[in-house]
Amino acid sequence: MAKHETPLLDQLESGPWPSFVSDIKQEAENRAKNANNVEFQVKQDVCEDILGVLELSYKHGRTHWKHGGIVGVFGYGGGVIGRYCDQPEMFPGVAHFHTIRVNQPAGKFYNTEWLRNLCDLWEFRGSGITNMHGSTGDIVFLGTVTEQLEEIFFELTHKHGQDLGGSGSNLRTPSDCIGEARCEYACYDTQALCHFLTNEYQDELHRPAFPYKFKFKFDGCPNCCVASIARSDMSFIGTWRDDIRIDQDAVAAYVGGEYPPNAGAHKDGNWGAFDIQKEVIDLCPTGCMKYEGGKLEINDKECTRCMHCINVMPRALKKGLDTGVSILVGAKAPILDGAQMGSLLVPFVKVEEPYEEITEVIEAIWDWWMEEGKNRERLGELIKRQGFQAMLDAVGIDPVPQHVKEPRSNPYIFWKEDEVPGGWQRDVNEFRKYHQR
Amino acid sequence: MAFVSSGYNPEKPMENRITDIGPKHFEQFYPPVIKANKGKWAYHEVLQAGVLKHVAESGDEVYTVRVGGARLMSVTHIREICEIADKHCDGYVRWTTRNNVEFMVDAEAKVKPLIDDLESRKFAGGSYKFPVGGTGAGITNIVHTQGWIHCHTPATDASGPVKAAMDVLFDDFKSMRLPAHLRVSLACCLNMCGAVHCSDIAILGYHRKPPMLDHEYLDKMCEIPLAVAACPTAAIRPTKVEIGDKKLNSVAVKQERCMFCGNCYTMCPSMPLADTEGDGIVIMAGGKVSNRISYPKFSKVVVAFLPNEVPRWESTTDCIKNMVEAYAAGANKYERFGEWAERIGWERFFDVTGLEFTHHLIDDFRDPAYYTWRQTSQFKF
């Protein structure tokens, strides 16, 4: 017999998609049975109470969590999201229900021994409920009490060699696409760069020193599988600057129907036989391709590396060999002055250990934003307020046409005084000698 | 429930403290076939919905079976994932950037037993624990947020609407019949944690009533200037109010200038705004993050309001299903949702989807709003 009636949530147990309600119920049952005699450090019926409070929210159409919550572990200024229920008498199991962010390994690969260790720890000292994973990338332990925070952190670091993730006005947990681990499109080792920078900037991640939050994400190619261009203040997108490699025999195999277009991604639709002209040549955004006499040609100088042709014919077309990253900056959600995607700052830089060319850009951006950024002003908003040129100046990057989608159409152009012969200090009386009032 | 120490000594909190060690190194979690062939992959193929094959230059193969995940999951469920990974995959498993789970095996013969095992597992209520799918030109998992399970600022739930939507879209998770992949995401308020602003179809929690003011507590709980600065439309100003015989510092909200974003509540606990009837859902569409053919795009508001209908949000799921079918019928191969809408024109988009166009959809936020109006005589009747 469940502790709380949940008639509304029960309706989310049917249907084919994995039901979070069924899963929480199974955890509630397992805690009630406690087959392994775990000495639970939060209430045994915490999962019953989370379903209870959620059911109440369904009834009211409103959340039942109090505003905010400031908890954490000594030495760090973030990593834990405090949360308290606004009906603690009704649902004592979730009176405290803090979230702990645990820094995931790059690429989110795991072995089962490691995952089981985390599960054992979280069953013992938390609710047994998680998010796999938070949008930023962290493993999220969902729901524990304040007294357990230091205990969990002690076990994480001492027994498992594992740190917390980020929260607050700091560098948040970086994350990446699968990269070279299992993708032929990857232009650099996203996992290696993600791991390196996460460790390089541990202080900036754990102790808020910024005007606001700041995120890194690493995409191996312009397909953007980790959506860095939309979801990180500094977005690292793999690219190349030499020629796309063409295997003409493989092109013929696509044309002949031997290989499925787009690796078979459209297998269940009725799209007819592959038509290279219609599906590749005519869709190229720059029109830099042609297919004549059974031969595919690419004018690479005009290619913008959008990935379309490579995506359609992965066995025939390969990225170039001179690879690196483009760095884009400023992406953010709407609050306060509108959503932004990353804007191109560094068109191309090689990705080579010890990554100095990359850390130089990061640190120059931080130097500028940490000094000039207003309270709770994302990097993208500072760029809008002070101008793209101010950022280029601060970071020491020369303006190039690649920095804009189009030149400005208004003529409200600022000049620096030293760019103008004679400067700005002028005498009106001198002017009047030639121009009567 | 006796307290069990981990070894941490609260009397000497900084003693034996380990900090700044970061995440585990990724390489120790690579399956052997991944480790051996990293950076040397030749090509890949989607064998069927949910099953990928990658072939390395060495000739090695890795087969990946992708399954749907609820994101919100118990340790019991993770342990079951571990049991499967031990049984079929030598103890390795990974998660995707859209919170699906991927099981990898190094030989084709191992794929079918794995799929049969995964598809045979169901929760007590009848839902699949590990539905195979989410690849190619279909609909994969919905990137989503906390909702009423953990957050204090939502205008809708996350896990519930996502479950309701994925049940309706399930066939497209299991197949690849669409013109291109279609990304759905949800955020329970317009902080837009996740991917709402850049998805093919997005569900966004929204309020429609200005905040209430807890004058008695406001100056005690809030930094008033921060609440003032939190407002994108400058609807908030500091003021003094009389409560009983006391004169208190507080704020005033110009209600006709408030568009209910809730950012002041984020900064000031004394300005709550959640409301049963007022709160609901905005539907956005046409965003993308990839650079394929067209530039990345923001999603646009196409439905200004749908009510929160617990527990299955029928109006929302009907609306999404209808949009998916209109897109499936009208778009060209490889064309993303936003590319299709822009090609046919947004007026035709509203035509073919039957969605109502209301004044709420016309941008009125600062200077850039002008650039969203139509400065041309080109339009379709």
DSSP symbols for A192-257: HHHHHHHHHTHHHHHS--SSS-B-EEEESSTT-TT-HHHH-SEEEEEEESSPPEE-HHHHHHHHTT
A38: nearest CA partner in chain B: B1
Closest by CA to B183, choosing from B95, B96, B285, is B285
Is B162 found in the same domain as B109?
Answer: no
* Domain end residue (candidates: B68, B92, B120): B120
* Residue A32 contacts B, CB cutoff 8 Å: no
Is B238 found in the same domain as B203?
Answer: no
List pLDDT tens digits, range B185-198: 999 999 999 999 99
* Residue A195 contacts B, CB cutoff 8 Å: yes
Tell me the chain A residues in contact with residue B333 when contact means C-beta distances shorter than 8 Å: 266, 269, 271, 279
B124 close to A22: Cβ distance less than 8 angstroms: yes
Please tell me the pTM assigned to this model.
Answer: 0.98
Q: Which of A12, A206, A341 sits opposite B296 (nearest CB)?
A: A341
pLDDT in the model for residue A1? 57
B41: nearest CA partner in chain A: A184
Give mean pLDDT, residues B204-211. Answer: 98
Is B165 found in the same domain as B97?
Answer: no
Report residues of chain A scoring pLDDT below 50.
none
Residue A276 belongs to domain with CATH number:
3.30.70.20
Closest by CA to A381, choosing from A345, A415, A422, A339, is A339
pLDDT in the model for residue B312? 98
List pLDDT tens digits, range B270-327: 999 999 999 999 999 999 999 999 999 999 999 999 999 999 999 999 999 999 999 9
Closest by CA to A47, choosing from A21, A19, A8, is A21
List pLDDT tens digits, range B209-261: 999 999 999 999 999 999 999 999 999 999 999 999 999 999 999 999 999 99
Q: Tell me the percentage of chain B whose pLDDT exceeds 70.
A: 100
* Domain end residue (candidates: B94, B120, B146): B120
Tell me whether residue B183 is in a domain: yes
Closest by CA to A40, choosing from A162, A134, A164, A144, is A144
List pLDDT tens digits, range B22-71: 999 999 999 999 999 999 999 999 999 999 999 999 999 999 999 999 99
Is A218 found in the same domain as A72?
Answer: no
Helices marked H in A294-351: 308-312
Contact A61 B3 (CB under 8 A): no
Give mean pLDDT, residues B142-158. Answer: 97
ipTM for the predicted complex comes to: 0.98
Residue B89 belongs to domain with CATH number:
3.30.70.3340
Amino acid symbol at B154: P
pLDDT in the model for residue A263? 98
Distance CA B52, CA B63 (A): 6
Tell me whether residue A1 is in a domain: no
Distance CA A199, CA B20 (A): 8
Is A178 found in the same domain as A161?
Answer: no
* Residue A400 contacts B, CB cutoff 8 Å: no
Is B191 found in the same domain as B290?
Answer: yes
Distance CA B340, CA B323 (A): 12
Is A59 found in the same domain as A18?
Answer: yes
Q: How many domains does chain B have?
A: 3
Distance CA B142, CA B187 (A): 10
* Residue A99 contacts B, CB cutoff 8 Å: yes
Range of the domain at B230: 217-267
Mean pLDDT of chain B: 98
Range of the domain at A347: 172-240+325-403
Is A180 found in the same domain as A146?
Answer: no
Q: What are the φ and ψ backbone dihedral angles of A276, each rounded to 5 degrees?
A: -60, -35
Asked if the model's pLDDT at residue B3 lies above 90, the reply is yes
Asked if the model's pLDDT at residue B1 lies above 80, the reply is no
Tell me whether residue A151 is in a domain: yes
Contact A262 B20 (CB under 8 A): no
Is B290 found in the same domain as B344?
Answer: yes
Residue B365 belongs to domain with CATH number:
3.30.413.10
Tell me whether residue B139 is in a domain: no
Tell me whether residue A417 is in a domain: no
Q: How many domains does chain A have?
A: 3
B34: nearest CA partner in chain A: A181
